[in-house]
Amino acid sequence: MKVAMYSAQSYDRFSFDKVNEEYGHEFLYLDIDLNLFTVKLAEGCEAVCIFVNDQADAKVLQALLNIGIKTLVLRCAGFNQVDLEVAKELGIQVMRVPAYSPEAVAEHAVAMILTLNRKTHKAYNRVREGNFSLVGLTGFNLHRKKVGVIGLGKIGLAFSKIIHGFGCEVLAYDPVIQSYPDYINVIQLEELLQESDIISLHCPLLKDTLHLINKERLALMKDGVMLINTSRGGLVHTRDIIEALKKRKVGFLGIDVYDQEEKLFFRDLSGNIIEDDDILRLMSFPNVLITAHQGFFTSEALNEIAHITLQNLMNAEKGIISENSLTC
């Protein structure tokens, strides 16, 4: 199957070329996003492969169908960038990678907690400049802290297991998951927000979760709470979190995702003027840590993403409907 891969980076090419030796698909690597203006680049292909910041809305899906594309594979778990209802109407099969390495994202969330708390990023820069002072680097023990986990999917469970190992009390909220380890105390969302010292988001971006963290819910949290988001940027209302930081309501913020990240992340903008005032304001806070959607970025995860995506393509070619399909 000939496949146009949008938003392809050098690491995508490496992992997919290596794993594709087992499958024999043909890839057209494109280093630009999928949108209405770039659809035509997939002409002559049988399938399209996209990532988190590519857009597959109604117009794009229709344009894909017009050039003969009836298979769309996502090399990620999230699917908020695809209009699934329209895809079903058009007969376009959409498949994703539901789980590739839950531990990769979970470990990154924990790394952000440790970095913000113990300020290792600041200590590293100080020592390199010959400053060995400890002033301003005070942290706190994670042991016995209450950590709220919103979302108990595979990543949320992996995160809970790790943070429990630090001796934390794990509180969780999930309206769907019914089975979980006994060390997790599942409670209502409002109670979690009120009780947690640290809150980590591990849920998908859906209509019901858009701006899940907003002014009203931030007001319920403890003063000085730490908030971590490694899921989707749209879960957090950016302007509201900025106000909460200014008022010291939020004491620490770690984000690996951002609501408007498609204009920024996965690009080298070091020589450009960044016009997004919200991200610039967030970057100005000393208690905010931002990484550019790298939570998934381990060699194990990249290998698994390639394997599952290539198998999805193989299944589509053979007419096999798997649990990874979102439209069948």
Q: From 309, 318, 259, select the one nearest 99 (Cα to Cα).
A: 309
Task: Find the helix or strand (DSSP H, E) in which 159 lies.
Answer: helix 154-165
Exactly one of 96, 202, 293, 307 is catalytic; which is it? 293
Mode of pairing for the β-strands spanning 225-229 and 26-29 = unpaired
Exactly one of 25, 75, 232, 307 is catalytic; which is it? 232
State the Cα–Cα distance between residues 7 and 13, nearest whole angstrom: 11
At 58, is the secondary structure helix, strand, or coil?
A: helix
| 232 has catalytic annotation | yes
Cα 8 to Cα 26, 108, 206, distances in angstroms: 14, 23, 25
Residues 302-318: b if buried by 16+ CB within 10 A, e if exposed: bbbbbbbbbbbbbbbee
| 25 has catalytic annotation | no
Exactly one of 169, 261, 262, 304 is catalytic; which is it? 261
State the catalytic residues.
Answer: 232, 261, 293
